[in-house]
Amino acid sequence: MRKAFRLASAVAVALAVAMPAAADLIAPAQAIVAPQQPALVTGAKALSTQTLGSRATVTPSITLFGGFETKVQGNVYILVRGNSLGTLGVTQAYLDAPRVRLFTGAGQDIVTDSFGRPGFNACTSGSVFTDPVINYYTNVRGQPPHARDACVALNLVAGVYTFTVTPSIPGVTTDSGTSNPSSGEVLFEVTLNP
């Protein structure tokens, strides 16, 4: 908890330094500068989302936290890119073998690895939990995952879900081994009803 507080304090300080004067902040939007982007439409239908993502740097002392909500039961693909950020040319400062834990809204772990521990840290073919994700990202998106990324395909009931991404723990046997390097960038992607 102390680290989270320090991070929040550091963000607040950084924002305070970068913030313009109060008079510059009080100004409603006057125009839309992106082409083909209309203003809000009253009475519009609900907007649905297929893919959400979050990119961050993860270290042994900095965990990526996040969450998403599903309104109906459906298939969900989760891919946490670490190594494939390198193979796709995004960055060479990626986290090798990211470790992901997925939780229900009540804080219960949903996925365990082949060693029976909460979480997962591989994206290898040959499993009903990974093959759909690998096939989707390879054949539909044209951006294949790396075997040392982390992925899982699940059918989730409607609800709130949270996740954490950390390095794989040194000295603990995991599906993909330990993270080397143990710090780097990841991209958490969740695809709803692919």
pLDDT tens per residue, range 83-138 = 999 888 888 899 999 999 999 999 999 998 888 889 998 999 998 999 999 999 99
Alpha-carbon gap, residue 54 to 64, rounded angstroms: 9
Q: What CATH code would you report for 50-192?
A: 2.60.120.380
Q: What is the pLDDT of residues 87-96, one digit of tens each?
A: 888 888 999 9
Query: What is the rounded (10 degree) CA torsion for 173, 174, 175, 178?
Result: -100
* C-alpha torsion 159→165→168→172, nearest 10: -40
Please give the model's pTM, rounded to 2 decimal places. Answer: 0.74
Percent of all residues in the chain with a pLDDT value above 90, rounded to a whole number: 48
